[in-house]
Amino acid sequence: MSIPLPLQDMTVLPHDNSAAAIPPQRVAVAWQEKEIFDRIRRQGEATKAELVNRLPYSRTKINQCIADLLEKGLVKTAGAGDYTGGRRAVTYSVNGSAALVAGVDIGATSVDLALADLAGKIYARLGEPADVRDGPRLLLGRVGELLEQMLAGGGLARQRLLSIGVGVPGPVDFKLGKLVSPPIMPGWDGFPIIATLQERFPTAHVAVDNDVNIMALGEKVGGAARHVDNLIFVKIGTGIGAGILCNGEIYRGSNGCAGDIGHICVNKEGPICRCGNIGCLEAMAAGPAIAAAAQKAALEGKSPILLRHYEANGGFLRPEDVGYSAGEGDPVSIDIIRNSGHLVGDVLASLVNFYNPGMIVIGGGVSKIGNLLLSSIRQVVLHRSLPLATRDMRIIFSQLGDEAGVTGAMALAVENLFVVQGYSE
């Protein structure tokens, strides 16, 4: 499989296919051009009349932006030449061949990759188990191998890969693209992820972000939050974190750690958290806390159902086992899940009053526990938040599930191709 050669006048592309020392310049677009590009990309194709109807710009402005997008090779006419004498309007679509982009979602125990063209057509998708504790050199080396494999499999030249978006499970200084003291990633602190990947793919821009941020972005571009501009995506897994979308864009805060809700204190007499503080939400409601409470109940003889799962697993329990046991009617499991949901709901209720999001999406491994967790979270949020804040707000499970990260990483890669300039009228 191969895709057509990129347009020659596309400023973002290296004209010479020999390996460049630095990535080519990003494409400069006016703010309105970008909005029109995004709209066309989302719809697949659009006519000028549709764009005039749906965007707050004059026909003249739309004409000018489309002309600029055509000239930059970002958009192409679709269906031109198909006329049979009627008055069919010209439609425009994104010029997929202008760039290849890759999304890389590095989890604590897995790595997921996808390769797509600029229009969003997926060429390859790969995933395999991985251990971030193996360190960045080994893991990013493997990421490089897998990307090369995907390019070769599609008969695609590596020079056409112009952007890579990477999600990692730890706090990221987004401007530097580096992890800052990640608790579960020894050896990654300050490691130059961008430079390492660019050494292997010199034509590609690389952006690195926290995994929850890219999950939020994924849900926005391809999941349940397509029409939501203010979103909180909560990942409940080994830890708890939130990605915040504000006016459709990731809100990272001053240093990149906005949304780190797992370390909000929910009980001053609670257990010690891995961060060193006491009674953090994460220490009391995330996957390990759920599994530990269930294991304790099983071994103390309080739940024969949990004990059965414990023994069937060979001496351990996972959060989903607690979900299965709750489904079988085990009151202890139901209590454990409700307790976790209520703690998460308490924190979210405060966030709802503070931020007034249009939607809260719950994702991460622990969300596989099922509806009891979701209903417990909902119950507290609706009870504890201001009625006006919850009137139109939905709290749902992630629609993309395990695909949220890689989808968001690809969206990050696309965004990172552009330099968006201010208003021009």
Chain centroid, CA 281 distance in Å: 22
DSSP state string for 180-206? -S-TT-TT-BT--HHHHHHHH-TT-EE
Supply the minimum distance, in Å, between the C-beta of residue 263 and Zn ion: 4
Q: Are 319 and 365 in contact (CB under 8 A)?
A: yes
Is the CB of 147 or the CB of 283 nearer to Zn ion? Answer: 283
Torsion, CA 356, CA 371, CA 369, CA 325, rounded to 10: 150
Interface with Zn ion by CB under 5 A: which range of 200-208, 257-265, 373-381, 388-396?
Answer: 257-265
Q: In a 3-state reduction of DSSP, which class is residue 86?
A: coil
Measured N-to-C along each axis, helices 287-299 and 304-313 cross at an angle, to the nearest 10 degrees, of 110
| DSSP helix/strand/coil, 277 | coil
**Burial of 398 (C-beta count, 10 Å sphere; 0-12/13-18/19+):** buried
Residues 260-319 that bind Zn ion (CB under 5 A): 263, 273, 275, 277, 280
Q: How far is the CB of 212 from Zn ion (least distance, A)?
A: 15
The residue (of 277 and 353) whose beta carbon lies closer to Zn ion is: 277
- CB 290, min distance to Zn ion, A: 16
- Total number of residues binding Zn ion (CB under 5 A)? 5
Cα 252 from Cα 242, distance rounded (Å): 11
CB of 181 to Zn ion, least distance (A): 13
* Residue 274 C-beta: closest distance to Zn ion, Å: 6
Sign of the four-CA dihedral 202, 206, 211, 214? negative
Quote the CA–CA distance of 26 and 13 in Å, as a whole number.
Answer: 9
| Residue from 334, 384, 383, 340 nearest 362 by CA | 340
Least separation in angstroms between CB 347 and Zn ion: 12
CB of 275 or CB of 382, closer to Zn ion: 275
For Zn ion, give the closer residue by CB, 280 or 305: 280
Which residue number, 263 or 318, has a Cβ lying nearer to Zn ion? 263
Cα–Cα distance measured from residue 309 to residue 141, given in angstroms and rounded to the nearest whole number = 38
CB of 264 to Zn ion, least distance (A): 8
Bridging pattern class, strands 46-47 and 122-129? unpaired
Q: How far is the CB of 225 from Zn ion (least distance, A)?
A: 27
Residues in the chain: 425
Question: Per rule CB under 5 A, is residue 240 in the interface with Zn ion?
Answer: no
* Residue placing its CB nearer to Zn ion in the complex, 89 or 272: 272
User: Beta 161-168 vs 172-173: how paired, if at all?
Assistant: unpaired
Neighbours of 57 (CB within 10 A): 17
Question: Between 277 and 379, whose beta carbon lies closer to Zn ion?
Answer: 277
DSSP line for 140-153:
HHHHHHHHHHHHHH
In terms of CB distance, is 200 or 263 closer to Zn ion? Answer: 263
CA distance linking residue 141 with residue 220, whole number of Å: 30
How far apart CA 38 and CA 135 sit, in angstroms, is: 36
- Specify the residue, 231 or 280, whose C-beta has the smaller distance to Zn ion: 280
> What is the rounded CA–CA span in Å between residue 50 and residue 39?
10
Least Å distance, CB 276 to Zn ion, is 7
Measured CA to CA, the distance from residue 207 to residue 289 in angstroms comes to: 33
- Select 276 or 315, whichever has its Cβ closest to Zn ion: 276
What SS3 state is found at 137? Answer: helix
Quickly tell me which residue has 């050896």 as its tokens: 187
Identify the DSSP state of 30.
E
Shortest Å, Cβ 281 to Zn ion: 8
Q: Which is nearer to Zn ion, 94 or 289 (CB)?
A: 289
Shortest distance (Å) from residue 248 CB to Zn ion: 30
Q: How far is it, in rounded angstroms, from Cα 34 to Cα 23? A: 21
Chain residues binding Zn ion by CB under 5 A are 263, 273, 275, 277, 280
